[in-house]
Amino acid sequence: MTVDELQIVNYCHRSCTPLLNIMRLPKDEAFALAYEMAEQNKETTAFYRFSDFENYYPRRLKTDKLLYDCFLELGGKPLQEHPLSFVLQGSDYLDGWFDCGIVTRIPLNHIDSEDISFTYGDSMAVLERNGSFTMLTKDMLLKEIADFNGTIEEFLANVADKYNYVEVQVWNDECLRV
């Protein structure tokens, strides 16, 4: 595999619309939708967080604010407060988490550095576990891949062993229209 073949992958349950973020809704609408989705999908792992949205919502707000601020510091130009979430090259774990639903793949090389950031693992989980996360720009990630002593597949496997996947935050919805 080459760097030009890398893709970002978004997973979405069949009962949802791909490439949306519940955190972009007004608070009352977000809570109503979260409870509705949790009620309609009781057996789906992805919706467990929505059944306790009162706990999830402030944690997600805090994480997104830190992601946003960090991205700005790294020279990013976010057009949204809340990014759309992807993973680099996909994740069997997340595919199952979303009940093998809708999968959207976009070539990484179609997205400018100022529109995309990366964290090792789930940003909210890493933040809550470690008190911080490491964010990378596209250029920083590609340098880490280039500096890695092995193939891209080995790099991704190494990250997966530690963090499950590379989370991708897309801050400009327009760049996804390929």
Render pLDDT for 91-142 as a digit per residue (tens, 0 to 9): 998 998 888 889 999 999 999 999 999 999 999 999 999 999 999 999 999 9
Give residue 178's pLDDT band: very low, low, confident or very high (50, 70, 90).
Answer: low
Domain with 165 in it:
3-176
Contacts of 131 (CB under 8 A, 6+ apart): none
Letter string b/e over residues 89-98, b meaning 16 or more CB atoms within 10 A of that residue's CB: bbbeebeebb
Mean pLDDT of 134-163: 95
What's the number of domains the chain is made of? Answer: 1
Mean pLDDT of 66-92: 96
CA dihedral 72, 76, 77, 83 (to 10 degrees): -90
Mean pLDDT of 58-77: 96
Q: What is the pLDDT of residue 46?
A: 67
- Single-letter amino acid, residue 135: M
Render pLDDT for 22-42 as a digit per residue (tens, 0 to 9): 999 999 999 999 989 888 877
| 126 vs 117: CA distance, rounded Å | 15
User: Among candidates 21, 18, 32, 34, which has minimal Cα distance to 67?
Assistant: 21
pTM of the model: 0.93
